[in-house]
Structure 1
Amino acid sequence: MKFLKSGLAVAMAAFMGLAASQASAADVELAKNLRIVIGSKSTGGDTYQNSAIVAQALADKLGINVKVDAVGSSAAFKTLRRISNGSTIMIFHDQSYLGYLYGVKGYFNIFEDFTVGPTVAINPGNSYLVPKSSPYQSIEDIIQACASDKKIRVAIQPGGVSEIGFSALKNAIKLRYPGKEANLVAVNTGSQSDKNQLLFDGQADLINGSVQANEQYTQLPAEDQKAMRFVWLTARPETIKQTKPEGFGDTSQEHLLDFVSPKASVTQDGEKDFTFDKEFFFIYNKKMDPAIVDALDEALGEIYAEGKIQETQKKSFFIPNFKPSAEAAAYLKDKMGQYEVIIDSIK
């Protein structure tokens, strides 16, 4: 076993069950296998992909076995509540607190019921799209259409990451044109393919999508029924500027910047623009030994300092974003507070 520093070795000793006076052989074997449950059931989605990158880096650094289990949010939270010895931890993204803010069953206030750990990456691809045949060329056109009493139907998956941009857009219309926000209408649906299909069938004017899932449709000729255009990316411009210059698919970084603030402006409070980065982070059982939290912080800090993981993440269109636990928890709690104001304003 190769430890990084004496401080990490001490903390990881508790995690690995190496204190001879306290650990049995079975305990050591269990502790050497770290299970990461994720809030998604898909092994092809961004949560699994991002978690697998981080898990492999931890396994290599600490000399342990790390397994990612795509069990879904409800099962992940239930599992995390049961296991406090550090052998099972969780990785998820902003959905973990947005679900709570939207009142989705099975979600909790993670800052009260769990321990929020370090952030590790951003998916910068959260976006909104219209058909290429749409008369709306920009997100400002959508806002003005609502101001002119046109109904704009927006296909979203309710209760989280898919909905927060819709809520922000509705809030921006309310701030600029009070009373007209009712013209932005949610069409609640499920998966990305369901949202796409509503756009193809003319049942939605605007859909929530992602650069990764929808960029291929933006390359189709305008006469194709499936052809789309980006009108808004919710990511911060600073985040998009960290992507590779070639961007994603046939859409360059320079072109992606056309769809973020300030070029695509959706006000948050009348003074600053709303932005949303989909960020991935660790969540722990509330009773987990703080020494394990510190050990994982230190291990991840050294992994990111080495610089290899960043290249792997960027190849998959993730933006490296390591913040240690205390910093991450404060940052994410503030982020949750800002979005709570937006959600409450349009209830």
Structure 2
Amino acid sequence: MIARRTLLAAASATALLAQPLIATAQELPRNVRLVIGSTSTGGDTYQNSAIVADALAEHLDINIKVDAVGASEAFKALGRDSRGTTLMIFHDQAYLGNLYGVTGYDDPFEGYTVGPTVAINPGNAYLVSKDSPYQSMEDILTAAENGERVRVAIQPGGVSEIGFSAMKNAASVRAPGSEENIIAVNTGSQSDKNQAMWDDLADVINGSIQANEQFTQLPEDDQKAMRFVWITARPGTIEQAPAEGMGETTRDDMLHYVSPETSVTLDGEQDFTFDKEFYFLFNKDMDPAIIEQIDTALTEIYAKGEIQERQKAAFFIPNFLPTAEAQQHLTEKRDTYAKVIEQISGDS
């Protein structure tokens, strides 16, 4: 009998030790690891994730550590943990990488649960040198129609490439066959793309307001001087940016480079736009109650308004959508870009 009681006591102690994991199956645990699809602690993914993590941790009185492990490792870590102790924040690269066939990018809508959106980086842009003969996207697309080769420096396989795909698609819609004159110059980081322009290896480069605005303020005779020709964000997104904009480029200045003033057609009737949106990703088997808890917490956080001020101060546009709305929005967005990529693939 004593031995049996000892065994029962040991079993009870073991159950108690295991209880925290069981008890927290329907809510976030005390300590959460938030992995991100970037290895940089100075980039926009980390900055945006840190703002959201701080607000969520304070609101729920838990600890959340942002871990910049990169896309491949982040997806692996998320896939191993269904308890809610590992969450992920990334942006459109998650599905664009899959659409472009980049190794390591499975379909996030199938392999994971897409969660709420939290913000937009409105800065995705394309630039030319200040002494370029191309003054606008209209000039670039017209040049392609006239048989000129226009070289565009991008980092292939995602956010950097989607605008390039849109250029080729627009050329094809305007003048079938002219898309062959929009040529990719595949590079790496932003500094590599900048250098491609300075070395006269590219006529146009993918860049960002944040990274390249400083070069647009240089005098025209400076070799590094650049000029914006296109900002891919929706006009409604830029309209939410601070009036002072960034650097010496005001919000009104930026609006000259977005639709409809700068038109890159999607289908001959509407313009192509692209907002770089950040959102949560969850393990496919994680308890839906945890997702509901996060949705509720973020709804309350955004209702207070403080997080929006922090995001705008870092040049992010607040964009909270709870999970159900975010999934519908991002699915429609993914499907639109899939058609663009499929179209230019068929043309090439």
Structure 1 counterpart of 2:178, from 169, 177, 180? 180
SS at match of 1:128: strand
Q: What is the match of residue 13 of structure 1? A: none
Specify the code of the residue in structure 2 equivalent to 1:96: A
Return the alpha-carbon distance in structure 2 between the equivalents of residues 82 and 282 of structure 1: 16
* CA spacing shift, 1:265–1:24, aligned 2, 3 Å: closer
* CA spacing shift, 1:105–1:116, aligned 2, 3 Å: same
Q: What is the match of residue 233 of structure 1? A: 231
Specify the code of the residue in structure 2 equivalent to 1:231: V
Q: CA deviation at 1:108?
A: 1.1
Q: What is the match of residue 23 of structure 1? A: 19
Indicate if the aligned counterparts of 2:37 and 2:90 stay in contact, CA closer than 8 A. Answer: yes
Q: What is the match of residue 218 of structure 1? A: 216
Return the alpha-carbon distance in structure 2 between the equivalents of residues 213 and 33 of structure 1: 34
Specify the code of the residue in structure 1 equivalent to 2:256: D
1:49 aligns with 2:55: no
* CA spacing shift, 1:303–1:24, aligned 2, 3 Å: closer
**Percent of matched pairs sharing the same residue:** 64
Return the alpha-carbon distance in structure 2 between the equivalents of residues 287 and 20 of structure 1: 24
Indicate if the aligned counterparts of 2:266 and 2:272 stay in contact, CA closer than 8 A. Answer: yes
Specify the code of the residue in structure 1 equivalent to 2:235: P
Structure 2 counterpart of 1:256, from 251, 254, 257? 254
Question: How do 1:6-17 residues align onto structure 2 when only pairs under 5 Å count?
Answer: none
Specify the code of the residue in structure 2 equivalent to 1:121: A
Return the alpha-carbon distance in structure 2 between the equivalents of residues 25 and 159 of structure 1: 38
Q: What is the match of residue 4 of structure 1? A: none
* CA spacing shift, 1:25–1:170, aligned 2, 3 Å: closer
Question: How do 1:59-74 residues align onto structure 2 when only pairs under 5 Å count?
Answer: 59-74=57-72
SS at match of 2:256: helix
SS at match of 1:23: helix
* CA spacing shift, 1:21–1:326, aligned 2, 3 Å: farther
1:70-118 per-residue CA deviation (whole Å, 9 max, x = no partner) reads: 0000000011110000000000000000000000000011111100000
Q: What is the match of residue 134 of structure 1? A: 132
1:314 aligns with 2:308: no
Indicate if the aligned counterparts of 2:153 and 2:204 stay in contact, CA closer than 8 A. Answer: yes
Specify the code of the residue in structure 1 equivalent to 2:343: S
Question: How do 1:86-125 residues align onto structure 2 when only pairs under 5 Å count?
Answer: 86-125=84-123
Return the alpha-carbon distance in structure 2 between the equivalents of residues 267 and 77 of structure 1: 34
Q: What is the match of residue 40 of structure 1? A: 38
Q: CA deviation at 1:296?
A: 0.3
* CA spacing shift, 1:338–1:79, aligned 2, 3 Å: same
TM-score (norm 1): 0.92
Return the alpha-carbon distance in structure 1 between the equivalents of residues 120 and 21 of structure 2: 39
Q: CA deviation at 1:297?
A: 0.3
Q: CA deviation at 1:270?
A: 1.0
Q: What is the match of residue 325 of structure 1? A: 323
Return the alpha-carbon distance in structure 2 between the equivalents of residues 65 and 239 of structure 1: 32
Provide structure 2 residue ranges, at least 5 long, that are not aligned to the other structure.
1-14
Specify the code of the residue in structure 1 equivalent to 2:19: A
Specify the code of the residue in structure 2 equivalent to 1:234: T
1:142-174 per-residue CA deviation (whole Å, 9 max, x = no partner) reads: 000101111000000000000000000100000
Q: CA RMSD in A?
A: 1.6
Q: CA deviation at 1:123?
A: 0.3
Specify the code of the residue in structure 2 equivalent to 1:116: V
Question: How do 1:265-284 residues align onto structure 2 when only pairs under 5 Å count?
Answer: 265-284=263-282
Specify the code of the residue in structure 2 equivalent to 1:156: I
Provide structure 1 residue ranges, at least 5 long, that are not aligned to the other structure.
1-18
SS at match of 1:275: coil
* CA spacing shift, 1:313–1:20, aligned 2, 3 Å: farther
Q: What is the match of residue 157 of structure 1? A: 155
Indicate if the aligned counterparts of 2:21 and 2:83 stay in contact, CA closer than 8 A. Answer: no
Return the alpha-carbon distance in structure 1 between the equivalents of residues 18 and 190 of structure 2: 49
Q: What is the match of residue 3 of structure 2? A: none
Q: CA deviation at 1:209?
A: 0.2
Q: What is the match of residue 337 of structure 2? A: 339
Indicate if the aligned counterparts of 2:152 and 2:205 stay in contact, CA closer than 8 A. Answer: yes
Q: CA deviation at 1:24?
A: 4.0
Specify the code of the residue in structure 2 equivalent to 1:41: T
1:197 aligns with 2:186: no
Return the alpha-carbon distance in structure 1 between the equivalents of residues 34 and 20 of structure 2: 23
Which has the higher Rg, Structure 1 or Structure 2?
Answer: 2
Return the alpha-carbon distance in structure 1 between the equivalents of residues 146 and 236 of structure 2: 33
Return the alpha-carbon distance in structure 2 between the equivalents of residues 207 and 59 of structure 1: 39
Return the alpha-carbon distance in structure 1 between the equivalents of residues 186 and 60 of structure 2: 44
SS at match of 2:253: helix
1:113-139 per-residue CA deviation (whole Å, 9 max, x = no partner) reads: 100000000000000000000010001
* CA spacing shift, 1:328–1:211, aligned 2, 3 Å: same
SS at match of 2:327: helix
